[in-house]
């Protein structure tokens, strides 16, 4: 039983290429660590028809091994990948020098959490917070319980206009949460058109947030 749990949360195959990680290593092999993790820098994603969202920062391009890792994480129950993903997000955020009053995540519907077996964006936020520790002095608060989301059909495969329509009214600010005059960072896994982050930003700014930026693991190539 212990071996099974360790395999779920600390996979011994590389999350990017599925090869062996090497003795004593977890998450990524040396080659993929060098390719995807050793020289990270903040990059800004280009998004169209975005009004409420101020900007989107990303770490990697959504292709090859990164695509494999993200898909494995979300669709093949690999919650242990969140440890390395959190380190990647923390590295990029720290290097950016950006400071925020609040760091939260794009919400996941209850049905999606039950289908996947875990809250994939909430876990990204948790692991990012652990990896950052006390290094991000300007940020006051990590809170994954800021926004809520109704279940809607998956965004993948939809065009930009369809994505925006699909999300309309699906995200809201939870009762008792105050974001007035705050700068807010919203963490998600992948940005394609930016529609999910845009809807999060619209809700947050409607509640008085002053600035909203997205931070994602990967951006789909244009």
196 has a pLDDT exceeding 60: yes
> Per the structure block, which two tokens stand in for 21?
């990680």
**Mean pLDDT value of segment 205-210:** 96
3-state secondary structure of 37: coil
Q: Average pLDDT, whole number, for the chain?
A: 87
As a whole number of angstroms, the distance between CA 9 and CA 80 comes to 4
3-state secondary structure of 147: strand
pTM for the model: 0.87
Number of helices followed by number of strands (H, E) in the chain: 8, 7
Give me the pLDDT at residue 61, please: 95
**Mean pLDDT value of segment 156-178:** 74
As a whole number of angstroms, the distance between CA 146 and CA 132 comes to 20
As a whole number of angstroms, the distance between CA 71 and CA 75 comes to 6
Q: For each of the domains in the chain, give its residue range(s) and CATH number, in order of start.
A: 41-219 (3.40.50)
Give me the pLDDT at residue 131, please: 92
As a whole number of angstroms, the distance between CA 208 and CA 198 comes to 15
- Going 62 to 129 to 205 to 199, the CA torsion angle's sign is positive
Give me the pLDDT at residue 7, please: 55
Give me the pLDDT at residue 27, please: 86
Instruction: Give the pLDDT band of residue 106 (cuts 50, 70, 90).
Output: very high
Give me the pLDDT at residue 2, please: 45
3-state secondary structure of 79: coil
Digit-coded pLDDT (tens) for 209-220: 999 999 999 999
> Per the structure block, which two tokens stand in for 143?
């809170």
């Amino acid at each position: 039983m212990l071996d099974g749990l360790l395999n779920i949360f600390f996979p011994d195959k590389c999350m990017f290429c599925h090869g062996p990680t090497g003795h004593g290593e977890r998450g990524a092999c040396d080659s993929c660590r060098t390719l995807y993790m050793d020289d990270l820098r903040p990059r800004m994603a280009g998004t169209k028809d975005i009004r409420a969202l101020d900007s989107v920062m990303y770490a990697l391009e959504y292709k090859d091994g990164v695509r494999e890792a993200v898909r494995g994480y979300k669709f093949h129950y690999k919650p242990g990948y969140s440890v390395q993903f959190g380190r990647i997000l923390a590295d990029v955020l720290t290097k950016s020098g950006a400071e925020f009053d609040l760091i939260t995540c794009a919400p996941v519907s209850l049905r999606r959490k039950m289908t996947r077996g875990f809250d994939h964006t909430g876990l990204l936020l948790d692991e990012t917070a652990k990896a950052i520790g006390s290094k991000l002095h300007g940020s006051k608060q990590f809170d994954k319980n800021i926004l809520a989301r109704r279940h809607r059909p998956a965004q993948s495969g939809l065009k930009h206009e369809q994505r925006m329509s699909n999300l309309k009214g699906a995200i809201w600010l939870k009762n008792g949460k105050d974001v007035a005059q705050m700068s807010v960072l919203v963490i998600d896994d992948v940005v394609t058109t930016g529609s999910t982050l845009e809807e999060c930003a619209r809700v947050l700014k409607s509640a008085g947030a002053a600035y909203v930026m997205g931070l994602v693991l990967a951006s789909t190539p244009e």
